[in-house]
Amino acid sequence: MDLVYENSDIVRATIATSGKCSQYKGQKSFNKDIPHHQRTKVLLVALIVCLVVALGAVCTLAMFLAHAKHYNVSVSDQEHNVTDYMEQLDVLRIQHQETLRKLNRLNQSSGCALCAVRWTHSGGKCYYFSTVKMNWTQSRDHCVTKGGHLVIITSKAEQDFLTSNVKETHWIGLNDLDTEGHWIWVDNQPLSQTVEHVLFFILQVLDKAREWGQRA
């Protein structure tokens, strides 16, 4: 009986060994079944796919660089245009200032000022007598919008001209808004430099106002 069992074990081992050999030989024969030229085609296809992907990446990068370059050029052009406009503006401002200086010299030499409609010329200056009722601040701002300022009396001759042309009360460029009792002109000059002329002018205006009130 022992001999029989031993033989059966030998048979099983032999069969198992034969099966493994058969399986190994089958795998080896399967690898041999793939032709060499087919493996070459597979490699070529894989290489082509990689090249296409790489080419797409290169094209995308090139488009991005071109767009960035175009953007930089556009920004540079805009900055250049702004610089040109600023230079042209400076030239125009200089020309405007030079034209004003020429007009002032012409006015002083000819004694004839170029005043706008409804403005009155006297002593090389233009005066506008408004008929609109406003407070002092509104009058000051209104004069500024017209390119001028509330009148600053600098001489007796100017005071006489204003007195002769004033038909009703008007504001002058004198105020004590910053410090009460400290009177200054709209050009920040103190009243003390022209106080005598101004006092005469104010008294004359008040006298005229009283006369108009009595006539009314």
- Among 16-25, 66-75, 99-108, 158-167, the range with the most confident prediction by mean pLDDT is 158-167
**Residue ranges per structural domain of the chain:** 120-215
Query: Which tops the pLDDT comparison, 1 or 190?
Result: 190
pLDDT tens profile 12-23? 444 444 444 444
pLDDT on residue 141? 93
Average pLDDT over residues 191-212: 57
Q: Chain-wide mean pLDDT for the chain?
A: 73
Its pTM surpasses 0.85: no
Q: Retrieve residue 64's tokens.
A: 């991005």
Query: Which tops the pLDDT comparison, 193 or 37?
Result: 37
pLDDT on residue 197? 58
Q: Domain 120-215 is classified in which CATH homologous superfamily?
A: Mannose-Binding Protein A, subunit A (3.10.100.10)
